[in-house]
Amino acid sequence: MKKIITLICLMTFIGTQAQDIKGGLKLSVNLPMFSSDVDNDTTGKIGYSIGYFESMMLTNDIALEGEINYTHIAYETGEGDFKFEDDTNFFEIPLMAKYVINDFHIGGGFQYCFGSITDFGPLVDLTYYNDNLRFGARAFLGSDKSFSGNSMTNISAYIGLVIF
């Protein structure tokens, strides 16, 4: 954990030299997928996420990006006649490094979730920038922690609006 904090501080220091910082709002739809370690079926339902992002170009080819998102996921769990639907809300803080090819940003990093779900794990991201709009897809792979006896992967597609 100390290494991650040191890396973030170092990249932030390097990034203060770069003045190409863009920020804005994003909206995404997500679909959680569960892999079960127990004898119940948990099926994800479509949810949403709203948030704020900032992207900072370190060089012409490397960018850093951070976000804070409010996320809502829904799911159905149980067996046979004993199935029920539930939902949960939490905050996500993804931190990523991205390789930039023209208007495409390909990246990866880590995400911390807190609220009704607490988790930390890797994520991958692909974003396309078009003027002040950005379109992307992301997969949060989660950790080995369980969610109702299941491991969760959250797949999302998003649109963002650069406001500065």
> What are the boundaries of each domain within the chain?
2-162
36: tokens are 């079960």
Average pLDDT score over residue span 10-31: 78
Query: What does the pLDDT look like over 31-78, one tens digit per residue?
Result: 988 776 555 577 889 999 999 999 999 999 999 999 999 999 988 877
Query: What does the pLDDT look like over 95-126, one tens digit per residue?
Result: 999 999 999 999 999 999 998 888 889 999 99
Average pLDDT score over residue span 15-44: 78
**CATH topology for 2-162?**
Porin (2.40.160)
Give me the count of residues in the chain. 164
Cα dihedral angle (131, 123, 68, 56), rounded to 10 degrees?
A: -50
pLDDT of residue 78: 75
Task: For residue 142, give Cα distances in angstroms to 9, 22, 33, 99, 150.
Answer: 24, 27, 11, 22, 11
